[in-house]
Structure 1
């Protein structure tokens, strides 16, 4: 895989998630109000994330990203690692920038052009951020 192909892979992955994430933005979501929405949120948010990842996978497959499934699985992990630790999402533009950067990074890490050592070295900070952001929420407060 050449450098141009690697750049195209990252750009198609970023564009794919932006297009996929636009779908929930244009659909009018008004399911409920108040505390009863907690149950809806527990079900709807994971379903929405899965749906966006599935749609991004389909867009990347059409854009000839081979294989596209590691990017579709890794992109949300990178996104949640960034959002839970360092990135604040004050508005929609920042959301789309972080989502596009997450999928582009996942496309870079999962590319066959990189040696396995580079893939591990690039994935390690994401794993650390993910653990740093998730584990404290799972442990009981002392």
Structure 2
């Protein structure tokens, strides 16, 4: 895989998640209000994340990111690891920037171009952040 192809792969992944994440922003979501919505949120938020990842996967497949499924699965994990430990998301612009960067990073790590040692070296800090964020929530 050439350098230009790797850059195109990362850019398509970043644009795909931005387009997919715009859908919930455009559609008026008004399920319920108040503290009684906790149960609805527990079900709706994972479904929404799964829906955005599925839509991003389809957009990446149309954009010829091959294979697209590791990026669609790894992108939300990178995003969750960053948002829960390092990055504070005060607004929608930061949300989209972090989401695009997460998917671009996942596209870079899952590409065939870098050697396996580089893939492990790039993915290791994200795995540590993810485990740390989950451990903090559980403890």
User: Which category of TM-score, normalised to the shorter sequence, fits these structures?
Assistant: over 0.9
Q: Which residue of 2 aligns with 1:108?
A: 108
CA distance in 1 between partners of 2:123 and 2:93 (Å)? 25
Q: Which residue of 2 aligns with 1:21?
A: 21
CA distance in 1 between partners of 2:122 and 2:136 (Å)? 23
**Where does structure 1 differ by over 3 angstroms across 4 or more consecutive aligned residues?**
none
Instruction: Provide TM-score, normalisation by structure 2.
Output: 0.99
Unaligned runs of 5+ in 1: none
Q: Which residue of 2 aligns with 1:42?
A: 42
Q: Which residue of 1 aligns with 2:136?
A: 136
Q: Which residue of 2 aligns with 1:62?
A: 62
Q: Which residue of 2 aligns with 1:71?
A: 71
The offset of 1:127, in angstroms, is 0.5
Q: CA RMSD in A?
A: 0.5
The offset of 1:29, in angstroms, is 0.9
CA distance in 2 between partners of 1:14 and 1:35 (Å)? 34
